[in-house]
C-alpha cells in the first residue's frame, strides 16, 4: 500500500491546508502592496529631515556681520553630496535667515508666523495635490548661533532593492502576527467546526455498527450529514438492499428445498421399515433420521428468523425427556445405552420448543453415528438452563473444538455427513441468545454443552 493510500485525519489535514492557504494569501498580499508602492515610486525614497537638522545644528554659526552661515563640516559636505535636491531654511528671532537649495514658495512665505511653534510637520493633501511633493519638517533648536527655526524636506535616495527589502520587512512585521493569530484560530476552530459538521456522520456510523445478519431491512440514515457524504451513504444503502434481496432468495430456496425433501424422506422411512432386521437396516434408518432432522432444522431456522424470535416459556426437562424417548429405540438398535439425568422440577427458558428439540436431537444423533457402537450416551439437564450430551467415543481434538461448528466442516473427510448438523445447532442456540461448546467427557469421548438464559421463579 502506498503512502497516499494510508488513512489520514481530515481535521488535521484541513487545518494545515487552511493555514497554508492563509500564509500564501498574506505573502501574495504583501507582494502586491510592495509591487504597487514600487510602481508608484513611493517606497524608493526615505525622508531624513532629523539628520539634516542635526547636521545644521552643529554647522550653524554667525558671520562677521552677525548673520547666519553654515560652516563646511565633513557631515555637511557628505549630506550635500548624497542629497542633490537638498533644501533648508533657517531663521532666528532677530529676522536673520539662511537658505540652501530650491526652497518651495509655500514654505519660504511662512516667515515668522510660526515663531511660537517648537516643531511641526507641514505638507499637502495627498489625494488632492501632487503626491511627489514631500512634506516639510519644522523644528526650533539651540545652536552655536543661538536659538533658530529650521525647515527642511530633504529626501535621501535609496536603491530599489533596499527599498523593497525595507518595505517588505515592515509589511511582514504587520502580517506575521496576523498569520499567527489566524493559524491559532484555525487549529482551534477547525476541529470544532468539523466535529459539529460530522456529528450526523458519527450517528450514521453507529447505525452501521449495529447492523447484523439478523437485522435485515436496516438502512443508514442520511439526515444531518454533509452533502459530500450522502452519495456514499446512498451507495451503502443500495448495497444493503441487494444483500437483503439475495439473502431472502437464499432463505426461500432453503425453505423450499426442505419442504420438498419431507415427502421423499417419509416415503424412504416407510420402505425402510419393511426391510428385514439387520445392521444395514439400522444404518439406513439412522441416515434417514439424520436427513429428516436436517430438513426440519432448516425449516426451524427459517421460521424463527422470519418470525422475529416468537419465543415462549419452554421446559428444558420436558424437551430432554421427549428427545430421549424418541431416540432411545434408535440408540439401542445401534448398540448404545441412552441415559437421562434431569431434575424433577422444571428448568425454564424462553425459546421455541421445536427448534430446541431439533438441536438436542442432532447432538444425540451425532453421538449415535460417530460413536463406537457401544457404551452410554448421556443427556443431562442442570441449572442454570444447561443441557449436556456425552458419549464414550474417541472425543474431539482440542484444536477442532471451534471448527466443528463451521458449515460443511467434517472431522473425517470421507464421513457420510454433510457437515451441517453442528452448524445448525449453533445457529439455533444463538437465536436463543445462548452458547454451545464442546468439552472433553469425564469418561472419555466428547461432551456438548448448550447453555441458555434462565427464567427464574418469582
Residue 252 lies in a domain: no
Domain count across the chain: 3
For residue 142, being part of any structural domain is answered with yes
- 436 φ/ψ angles, rounded to the nearest 5 degrees: -120, 140
Q: Largest Cα–Cα distance of the chain, in whole Å? A: 162
Q: Which is it for strands 155-157 and 337-341: parallel, antiparallel or unpaired?
A: unpaired
The CA dihedral of 422, 423, 428, 430, to the nearest 10 degrees, is: 110
The three-class DSSP label of residue 402 is coil
Distances, alpha carbon 256 to alpha carbons 259, 289, 359, in Å: 5, 19, 21
Cα–Cα distance, 454 to 394 (Å, whole number)? 32
Among 98, 122, 153, residue at a domain's last position: 153
One domain for residues 33 and 54: no
**CA dist., res. 380 & res. 388, Å (int):** 5
CB neighbours of residue 413 within 10 Å: 5
What are the CA-CA distances from residue 169 to residues 24, 166, 270, 454 (Å)?
A: 16, 5, 104, 80
Tell me what pLDDT residue 43 has. 44
Domain final position from 126, 153, 180: 153
Query: Coil, helix or strand for 435?
Result: strand
Residues 33 and 60 in one domain: no
Q: Which residues contact 27 (CB under 8 A, 6 or more apart)?
A: 175
**Dihedral angle sign, alpha carbons of residues 10, 13, 15, 20:** negative
pLDDT tens digits for the chain (458 residues)? Answer: 444 455 656 667 777 777 777 777 777 776 776 666 566 554 444 457 888 889 888 888 988 888 888 898 999 888 888 888 888 889 888 888 888 888 887 787 776 778 788 888 887 654 455 555 667 888 899 998 889 889 888 655 444 455 556 666 666 666 667 767 777 777 777 777 777 767 777 778 787 777 766 666 778 877 777 777 788 888 888 888 888 888 778 777 777 777 777 778 888 888 888 888 888 887 787 778 777 777 776 776 666 665 555 678 888 999 999 998 888 888 888 888 888 888 888 888 888 888 888 889 888 888 887 777 888 888 999 888 899 998 887 777 777 777 777 766 666 654 555 556 777 788 888 888 889 888 887 777 888 999 998 776 54
Domain membership of residue 62 (yes or no) is yes
Same domain, 314 and 447: yes
Residues 340, 438 share a domain: yes
b/e map of 164-192 (b: 16 or more CB within 10 Å)?
beebbeebeeebeeebeebbeebeeebbe
- Are residue 184 and residue 309 in the same domain, yes or no? no
**Which residues are CB-neighbours of 117 under 8 A, at least 6 positions away?**
138, 140
Q: Clarify whether residues 437 and 311 are in a common domain.
A: yes
Residue 377 within any structural domain of the chain: yes
Is 96 inside any structural domain? yes
Same domain, 36 and 102: no
Kind plus residue range of the DSSP H or E element containing 98: strand 97-100
- 64 assigned to some structural domain: yes
Range list of H helices, 124-198: 160-197
Beta-ladder partners of 15: none
- CA 203, 207, 210: angle at the middle one, nearest 5? 140
Block residue for cell numbers 454443552: 449
434 and 342 in a single domain? The answer is yes
Does 112 lie in the same domain as 56?
Answer: yes
Separation between Cα atoms, residue 204 and residue 57, nearest integer Å: 81
Same domain, 180 and 66: no
The answer as to whether 215 is a domain residue is: no
Phi, psi for 360 (deg, rounded to 5): -65, -40
Q: What is the pLDDT of residue 318?
A: 92
From 173, 197, 221, the end of a domain falls on: 197
Is residue 100 situated within a structural domain?
yes
Tell me: do 36 and 109 sit in the same domain: no
What is the extent of the structural domain holding 128? 49-153
Burial readout 342-370 (b: 16 or more C-beta within 10 A, e: otherwise): beeeebbbbbbbbbbbbbbbbbbbbbbbb
> Could you tell me if 375 and 398 lie in one domain?
yes
In contact, 338 and 332? CB cutoff 8 Å: yes
Amino acid at each position: 500500500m502506498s503512502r497516499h493510500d494510508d488513512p489520514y485525519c481530515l481535521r488535521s489535514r484541513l487545518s494545515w491546508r487552511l493555514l497554508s492557504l492563509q500564509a500564501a494569501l498574506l505573502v501574495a498580499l504583501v507582494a502586491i502592496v510592495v509591487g504597487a508602492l514600487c510602481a508608484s515610486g513611493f517606497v524608493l525614497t526615505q525622508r531624513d529631515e532629523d539628520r539634516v537638522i542635526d547636521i545644521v545644528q552643529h554647522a550653524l554659526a554667525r558671520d562677521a556681520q552677525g548673520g547666519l552661515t553654515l560652516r563646511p563640516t565633513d557631515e555637511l559636505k557628505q549630506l550635500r553630496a548624497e542629497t542633490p535636491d537638498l533644501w533648508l531654511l533657517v531663521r532666528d528671532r532677530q529676522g536673520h535667515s539662511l537658505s540652501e537649495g530650491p526652497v518651495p514658495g509655500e514654505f519660504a512665505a511662512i516667515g515668522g508666523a510660526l515663531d511660537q511653534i517648537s516643531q511641526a510637520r507641514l505638507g499637502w493633501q495627498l489625494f488632492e495635490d501632487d503626491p511627489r511633493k514631500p512634506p516639510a519638517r519644522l523644528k526650533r533648536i539651540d545652536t552655536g548661533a543661538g536659538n533658530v527655526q529650521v525647515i527642511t524636506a530633504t529626501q535621501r535616495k535609496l536603491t530599489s532593492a533596499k527599498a523593497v527589502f525595507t518595505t517588505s520587512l515592515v509589511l511582514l512585521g504587520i502580517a506575521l502576527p496576523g498569520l499567527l493569530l489566524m493559524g491559532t484560530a484555525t487549529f482551534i476552530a477547525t476541529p470544532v467546526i468539523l466535529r459539529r459538521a460530522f456529528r450526523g456522520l458519527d450517528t450514521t456510523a453507529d447505525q452501521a455498527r449495529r447492523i447484523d445478519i439478523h437485522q435485515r431491512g436496516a438502512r443508514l440514515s442520511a439526515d444531518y450529514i454533509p452533502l459530500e457524504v450522502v452519495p456514499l451513504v446512498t451507495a451503502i444503502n443500495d448495497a444493503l438492499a441487494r444483500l437483503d434481496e439475495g439473502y431472502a432468495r437464499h432463505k426461500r430456496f432453503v425453505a423450499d428445498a426442505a419442504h420438498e425433501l419431507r415427502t421423499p424422506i417419509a416415503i424412504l422411512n416407510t420402505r425402510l421399515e419393511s426391510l428385514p432386521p439387520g445392521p444395514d437396516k439400522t444404518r439406513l434408518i439412522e441416515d434417514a433420521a439424520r436427513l429428516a432432522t436436517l430438513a426440519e432444522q432448516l425449516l426451524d431456522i427459517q421460521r424463527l428468523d422470519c418470525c422475529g424470535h416468537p419465543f415462549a416459556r419452554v421446559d428444558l426437562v420436558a424437551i430432554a425427556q421427549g428427545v430421549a424417548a424418541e431416540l432411545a429405540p434408535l440408540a439401542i438398535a445401534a448398540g448404545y445405552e441412552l441415559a437421562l439425568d434431569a431434575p424433577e422440577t422444571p428448568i425454564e427458558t424462553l425459546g421455541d420448543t421445536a427448534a430446541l428439540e431439533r438441536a438436542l436431537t442432532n447432538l444425540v444423533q451425532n453421538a449415535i453415528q460417530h460413536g463406537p457402537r457401544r457404551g452410554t450416551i448421556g443427556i443431562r439437564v442442570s441449572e442454570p438452563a444447561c443441557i449436556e450430551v456425552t458419549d464414550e467415543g474417541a472425543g474431539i481434538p482440542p484444536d477442532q473444538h471451534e471448527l466443528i461448528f463451521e458449515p460443511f466442516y467434517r472431522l473425517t473427510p470421507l464421513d457420510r455427513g454433510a457437515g451441517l448438523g453442528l452448524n445448525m445447532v449453533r445457529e439455533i442456540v444463538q437465536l436463543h441468545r445462548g452458547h454451545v461448546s464442546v468439552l472433553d467427557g469425564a469418561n472419555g469421548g466428547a461432551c456438548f454443552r448448550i447453555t441458555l438464559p434462565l427464567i427464574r421463579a418469582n
